[in-house]
């Protein structure tokens, strides 16, 4: 494992043939394991007349049908080898933002490989912090979140010298913004890490209220999206660089943003991915589609051709940083975060949320789509009636159509989910 951590300094810059060989080797090993030990995939392959030798590269995964998330949710035992609960590892529970909570087990190799991959982002952060370790990090997340469980597991299986460990402050996103600000100013973190939507709202409140702030050298977020308008404000008006990570319960660390922040570098030595259109066909570079994921390193719960549920835009060129890991330009939301227009077309909720959030006087907003032309908005303003409702109507008319109807409810607080994430959009329209 020490050698793996050392290799992380160069692996993201490794020549493409080397990465492809490593990926193919891990895929072939995984396929042989899945055929022998995993009932779900053995049955799929046998029905199609496929055998492990039919899978030499990740391109061959297209011969397997996609794995719906619901299959794993309803029958998790079909995705694990017999006796997997006795193998040294960790069982995580998904945050359930899509309404479906899943248990997912990672073996020791999966977790330690993820630990090594975590160095990829720390090396990118080093561009802003000036050092890779030993700095102060504030973590703003709910108690018991997946990252905390993984860290506790790693600390029980490894040893990190005190000189390399980060000094951490843990704080809950349920704290009032004023109390959170007090804690951050007292701790004076080098890096602030947390949930995208929460950090965006917090730093926008700090900026708009004009309060004094200890400015970190970088902010990094995951779990859910930060509104583009919030990120732009933090980076330009507050002069704090913002980086994001791409991760999930099913694959832990999928990708990370480097210092250039042109997209997520995907760790293709640990995962294989495709981006497909509604017909399951691969999209062209620069196009948006559904992410299909294969975890190459975990044997406790196996996922091949898995519909993670994310809507992403595929990168269309190399990053100026020189890393050879391929890019996903942006994560555009979950497939259940698509707004349905009256004409039957769909669009990511962020397309609507971003201009709404930029309306003067609006601190946060949640949208519930009740019908194709009926939306209910919960709006948290900076003060009572401090925003222009006509501006809200204008955004909806421009993006949805002139026949749209809007119900506005002014609230004093928006309710976060049990995961700590702030669900900004939900819909009562059945997705297909």
- pLDDT of 99 > 50? The answer is no
- pLDDT of 2 > 50? The answer is no
Q: What pLDDT shows up at residue 98?
A: 47
Least confident of 4-13, 41-50, 72-81, 162-171: 4-13
- pLDDT of 189 > 70? The answer is yes
Averaged over 383-387, what is the pLDDT? Answer: 71
Banded model confidence at residue 430, pLDDT cuts 50, 70, 90 = low
Averaged over 2-29, what is the pLDDT? Answer: 81
- pLDDT of 278 > 70? The answer is yes
Averaged over 32-44, what is the pLDDT? Answer: 96
- pLDDT of 254 > 80? The answer is yes
155 vs 399, residue with greater confidence: 399
Banded model confidence at residue 164, pLDDT cuts 50, 70, 90 = low
- pLDDT of 58 > 60? The answer is yes
- pLDDT of 21 > 90? The answer is yes
Least confident of 43-52, 125-134, 147-156: 147-156
Report the percent of the chain where pLDDT is more than 70: 90
Q: What pLDDT shows up at residue 352?
A: 80
Banded model confidence at residue 22, pLDDT cuts 50, 70, 90 = very high
47 vs 100, residue with greater confidence: 47
Q: What pLDDT shows up at residue 432?
A: 45
Q: What pLDDT shows up at residue 92?
A: 83
If one counts every other C-beta atom within 10 angstroms of the C-beta of residue 15, the result is 9
Show the domains of the chain with their CATH numbers.
1-335 (3.40.50.12780), 341-427 (3.30.300.30)
76 vs 145, residue with greater confidence: 76
Q: What is the pLDDT of residues 196-226, one digit of tens each?
A: 888 988 898 899 888 899 999 999 998 777 8
- Name the most confidently modeled range: 68-77, 100-109, 419-428: 68-77
Q: What pLDDT shows up at residue 246?
A: 93
Q: What pLDDT shows up at residue 30?
A: 97
- pLDDT of 158 > 80? The answer is no
Q: What pLDDT shows up at residue 349?
A: 77
Chain position carrying tokens 């006796």? 83
Q: What is the pLDDT of residues 323-373, one digit of tens each?
A: 999 999 998 877 667 788 887 777 777 778 778 877 888 877 888 889 888
- Name the most confidently modeled range: 78-87, 111-120, 231-240: 231-240
């Amino acid at each position: 494992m020490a050698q793996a951590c050392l290799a992380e300094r160069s692996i993201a810059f490794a020549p493409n043939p080397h990465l492809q060989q490593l990926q193919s080797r891990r895929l072939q090993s995984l396929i042989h394991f899945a055929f022998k030990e995993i009932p779900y995939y053995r049955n799929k392959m046998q029905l199609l007349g496929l055998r492990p030798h039919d899978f030499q590269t990740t391109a061959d995964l297209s011969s397997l049908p996609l794995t719906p998330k619901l299959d794993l949710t309803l029958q998790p035992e079909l995705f694990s080898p017999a006796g997997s609960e006795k193998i040294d590892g960790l069982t995580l529970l998904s945050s359930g933002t899509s309404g479906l909570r899943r248990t997912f087990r990672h073996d020791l190799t999966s977790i330690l490989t993820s630990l090594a991959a975590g160095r990829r982002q720390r090396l990118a952060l080093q561009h802003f912090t000036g050092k890779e370790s030993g700095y102060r990090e504030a973590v703003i997340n709910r108690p018991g979140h997946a990252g905390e469980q993984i860290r506790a597991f790693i600390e029980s299986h490894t040893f990190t010298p005190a000189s390399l460990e980060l000094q951490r402050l843990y704080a809950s996103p349920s704290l009032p913004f004023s109390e959170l600000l007090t804690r951050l100013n007292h701790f004076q973190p080098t890096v602030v890490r947390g949930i995208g939507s929460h950090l965006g709202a917090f730093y926008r409140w700090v900026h708009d209220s004009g309060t004094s702030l200890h400015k970190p050298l970088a902010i990094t977020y995951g779990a859910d999206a930060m509104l583009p308008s919030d990120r732009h404000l933090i980076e330009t008006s507050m002069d704090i660089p913002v980086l994001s990570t791409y991760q999930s319960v099913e694959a832990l660390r999928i990708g990370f943003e480097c210092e250039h922040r042109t997209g997520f570098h995907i760790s293709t030595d640990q995962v294989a991915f495709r981006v497909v259109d509604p017909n399951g066909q691969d999209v062209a570079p620069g196009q948006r589609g559904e992410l299909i994921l294969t975890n190459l390193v975990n044997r406790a719960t196996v996922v091949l051709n898995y519909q993670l549920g994310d809507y992403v835009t595929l990168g269309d060129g190399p990053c100026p940083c020189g890393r050879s890991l391929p890019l996903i330009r942006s994560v555009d939301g979950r497939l259940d975060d698509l707004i349905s227009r009256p004409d039957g077309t769909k669009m990511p909720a962020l397309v609507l949320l971003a201009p709404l959030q930029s309306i003067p006087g609006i601190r946060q907003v949640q949208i519930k789509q009740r019908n194709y032309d009926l939306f209910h908005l919960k709006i948290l303003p900076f003060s009572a009636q401090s925003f222009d409702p006509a501006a809200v109507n204008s955004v909806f008319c421009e993006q949805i159509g002139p026949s749209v109807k809007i119900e506005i409810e002014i609230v004093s607080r928006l309710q976060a989910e049990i995961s700590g994430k702030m669900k900004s959009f939900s819909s009562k329209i059945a997705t297909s």
